[in-house]
Amino acid sequence: MKIELTPEQRALRSEVRDFVARKIAPHAGQWDHEEAIPREIVERLKERGWLGSMVPAENGGKGLDMIAYGVLTEEIGRGCSSTRSLLTVHDMVCQGILRWGSRSQKESWLPRLARGEILGAFALSEPEAGSDANGIRTTATAVDGGFVLDGTKKWITFGQIADLFLLFAQLDGKPTAFLVERGPGFSAVPIRGMLGTRASMLAELKLEGVRTENMVGRPGFGISHVVGAALEQGRYSVACGAVGIAQACLDACLAYTRERRQFGQPLFEHQLVRALLSDMITNVRAARLLCMRAGYLRDAGDPGSSAETMVAKYFASTAAARIAADAVQIHGGNGCHEDFAVSRFFRDAKVMEIIEGSTQIQQSAIARFELEEL
C-alpha cells in the first residue's frame, strides 16, 4: 500500500494552489459579498482545462484521474467554495452524459463542456422535492421529435449562467433525465440571500413548454441511474471541497494563533487552543484520506465506490462544519466579521452538510450498505 500523490498529481496541486492564491482566494470575500463570481474567473478556469477536467481525452477532456480531480477540487475549495461549486455542478452534468448519454449526446456535448464553451448545471431539486428525489413534479410529455417540459426547479447552482441543464422530470409518471438548453419557455430567476456559497449564482428555473430532443438514459432510470451517477460525482467533489474548507480554516487558525496574544502569550501557547488545533489537523487528514480512498475506488470502477464516496462526503462535510465553527471560536470577535475569511468558511461549511445528499441521507444509506455487506 502506498498513499502518496504521483509526481503529476503533485505538480497539478502546485499549479492549482498557486493559481488559487493569486486569482481566487484574495477575491473570494468580495465575490461572496456580491453574490456572483466574475466571468473572468470562469474564463481562466476554462483556459486551464479545469471545467470537465475528468472527461476522458477521447471525449475532448483532460482525463484527470479521480485522485487528481480531488486535488483540483480541494485546492479550488480551499480558496472559494462558490468557485468549487461551479466545477461540481458542471462536472456532474459531464458525468451524467459520460455514464448514460447516447453516443451522439457524448459527441455533441462533452467536447464543448470539457472546453468550457458551455456551462452545465444540475437541475433536480424543486420547491416540494429535495431529498425525496422521486417526488419531483416537473413533467415531460412526449411530442413529435422530442419532449415538452413544464415545472419549476429550485436551488439550482449556477442556474443564473449555465447553458445546459441535466434536468429531471416525470415522463408518464417515470422519473427521467433530460438535457435542456435555454430557449423559448425557459426562464431563470436569481436566488439571493443564501447563507453560504453565496456566489454560486443560484436560480429558480421555470419551464413552460420547454422543448428538448435529448433524453438521457431511458424512462424511469432518471433517478436510480442518471442521478445516481451524477450525484456520486457531485458527492466526491463536495467531499474534496469540504477538505479544502477545513484546510483553509486550519491554515487561518495556525497563522492567527501564532500572532494573536492573550494573557501575555500567543494563543498557540494555550492548551485548550492547541486541543482545537490538534482536532482540526487530525480531522483534515482523516477526511482527505477518506476522499483518496473513495477516489481510488472510483478509478477502479469498484462497486463499493458509491458507499465509500458517501462515507467520505459524510465525514468531510461534518468535519468541515465542526472545524469551521472552531475556527470562528478561535478567532473570537474577529471571526464573527467578514474581514476574516473564517466567517465565510463557517457559512460555506454548513452548506456542505446539505448539498449532494444531506448528512442524514448519508447516515441512513451508509448503515444500510454496511448491513448488506455483513
Minimal distance in Å, beta carbon 99 to other proteins?
Answer: 9
Angstrom distance (rounded) from CA 153 to CA 169:
10
The yes or no reply on residue 369 touching other proteins (CB under 8 A) is: yes
Query: Which is nearer to other proteins, 29 or 220 (by Cβ)?
Result: 220
The yes or no reply on residue 217 touching other proteins (CB under 8 A) is: yes
Angstrom distance (rounded) from CA 6 to CA 71:
11
Residues 86-115 that bind other proteins (CB under 8 A): 100-102
Residues touching other proteins: how many (CB under 8 A)? Answer: 28
The yes or no reply on residue 174 touching other proteins (CB under 8 A) is: no
Q: Which residue from 223, 245, 294, 351 is in contact with other proteins, where contact means CB under 8 A?
A: 223
Buried b or exposed e, range 19-58, using 16+ CB within 10 angstroms = bbeebbbebbbebbeebbbeeebbeebbeebbbbbbbeee
157 CB burial (10 A radius; 0-12, 13-18, 19+)? buried
Minimal distance in Å, beta carbon 220 to other proteins?
Answer: 8
Catalytic residue among 356, 370, 372, 373: 356
The yes or no reply on residue 234 touching other proteins (CB under 8 A) is: no
Angstrom distance (rounded) from CA 178 to CA 105:
11
Q: Which residue from 24, 229, 243, 342 is in contact with other proteins, where contact means CB under 8 A?
A: 229
The yes or no reply on residue 259 touching other proteins (CB under 8 A) is: no
The yes or no reply on residue 236 touching other proteins (CB under 8 A) is: no
Query: Which is nearer to other proteins, 111 or 304 (by Cβ)?
Result: 304
Q: Which residue from 63, 146, 185, 228 is in contact with other proteins, where contact means CB under 8 A?
A: 228
The yes or no reply on residue 173 touching other proteins (CB under 8 A) is: no
Cβ atoms of 196 and 81 within 8 Å: the answer is yes
Mark whether 356 is an active-site residue.
yes
Which pairs from 189-193 meet CB under 8 Å and 24+ separation?
190/160, 191/154, 191/155, 192/35
Cβ atoms of 264 and 100 within 8 Å: the answer is no
The yes or no reply on residue 144 touching other proteins (CB under 8 A) is: no
Of 236, 232, 237, give the one whose Cα is nearest residue 85: 237
Which spans in the chain are helix H? 7-19, 25-34, 39-47, 66-79, 81-100, 103-114, 228-259, 271-300, 305-335, 341-352, 359-373
The yes or no reply on residue 122 touching other proteins (CB under 8 A) is: no
Which range binds other proteins by CB under 8 A, 124-132, 136-144, 294-302, 346-354? 294-302
Minimal distance in Å, beta carbon 25 to other proteins?
Answer: 36
The yes or no reply on residue 295 touching other proteins (CB under 8 A) is: no
Q: Which residue from 111, 220, 296, 299 is in contact with other proteins, where contact means CB under 8 A?
A: 220
Cβ atoms of 179 and 226 within 8 Å: the answer is no
The yes or no reply on residue 224 touching other proteins (CB under 8 A) is: yes
Of 172, 118, 121, give the one whose Cα is nearest residue 142: 172
Q: Which residues bind other proteins (CB under 8 A)?
A: 100-102, 216-218, 220-221, 223-225, 227-229, 232, 300-307, 365, 368-369, 372-373
* Residues with a known catalytic role: 356
